[in-house]
């Protein structure tokens, strides 16, 4: 008997329940019925008790966090090409590690803003 007695309770159901047809096809082997069950509706991530002002603050915090992620920008400005000689006479490019929001502002204005997490020489 593949199922333990449930004392009058119904057999387990669901996407991984053992089907009688599968047991009849292969006696001695246990088969799983892999039917796709109807899924419950997706619940929202934000709690129902969150106020509209709290949602606004959470959205602004998320946007600020995304804009502060680091982005490596070659030649210290987007869309620019440059090359300098490094300390051992190799071709190098100055690169900035700057916030993503600053990168977008530089891309929109076409100017280098003096805000960066770090500045390095990237040599080949």
Residues 6+ apart with CB under 8 A from 83: 91, 92, 93
Total tally of structural domains belonging to the chain: 1
Domain containing residue 74: 66-123
Residue 99 within a domain:
yes
- How confident is the prediction along the chain (124 residues), in pLDDT tens digits per residue? 555 555 555 555 555 555 555 555 555 544 444 445 567 777 667 667 788 898 899 999 999 999 999 999 888 878 778 888 877 888 888 888 999 999 999 989 988 888 899 988 888 7
Give how far Cα 65 sits from Cα of 2, 46, 53, 62, 100, Å.
53, 18, 18, 5, 10
Residue 52 within a domain:
no
Residue 87 within a domain:
yes
Q: Give the pLDDT score at 44.
A: 65
Q: Give the pLDDT score at 37.
A: 56
């Amino acid at each position: 008997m593949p199922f333990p007695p449930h004392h009058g309770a119904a057999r387990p159901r669901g996407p991984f329940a053992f089907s009688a047809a599968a047991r009849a096809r292969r006696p001695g082997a246990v088969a799983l019925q892999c039917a796709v069950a109807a899924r419950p509706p997706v619940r929202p991530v934000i709690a129902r008790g969150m106020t509209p002002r709290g949602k606004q603050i959470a959205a602004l915090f998320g946007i600020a966090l995304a804009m502060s992620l680091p982005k490596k920008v070659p030649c210290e400005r987007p869309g620019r090409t440059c090359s300098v000689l490094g300390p051992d006479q190799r071709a190098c490019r100055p690169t900035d590690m700057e916030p993503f929001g600053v990168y977008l502002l530089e891309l929109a204005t076409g100017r280098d803003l003096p805000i960066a997490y770090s500045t390095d020489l990237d040599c080949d």
